[in-house]
Amino acid sequence: MTKREELGRLDSTINRCQDEEPVFLLAGHDVLAPGRVDDWCNHAEVANVNPKKVARARQIAEDMRAWQATHGSKIPDYVDGEP
């Protein structure tokens, strides 16, 4: 799912979070992101998370890999508001 798609859905995870709720975002350009999403999926399956949610997350990991193959990836480097 793209940023635009996620923000445009009222029922999306980001839109269902409370305003002061901590969140952690993984973007497609982050070289570490697809593997971390895979890790989440593995833990989610053990925790009996809805299989449709896990399948959606696995698809996002694959979409991230495809993005990286086309656009490249990088090690995360953004810290405390600095590029």
Question: What tens digit of pLDDT does each residue of 3-33 get?
Answer: 888 888 888 888 899 999 998 889 999 999 9
For position 30, what pLDDT does the model report? 95
pLDDT > 80? residue 76:
yes
Q: Model confidence over 26-73: pLDDT tens digits?
A: 999 999 999 999 999 999 999 999 999 999 999 999 999 999 999 999
Find, among 56, 63, 55, the residue nearest to 27 by Cα: 63
Which pTM value belongs to this model? 0.83
Give the per-residue pLDDT at 26: 93
Encoded tokens for 41: 């999926």
Q: Name the amino acid, one letter, at 68.
A: Q
Residue type, 70: T
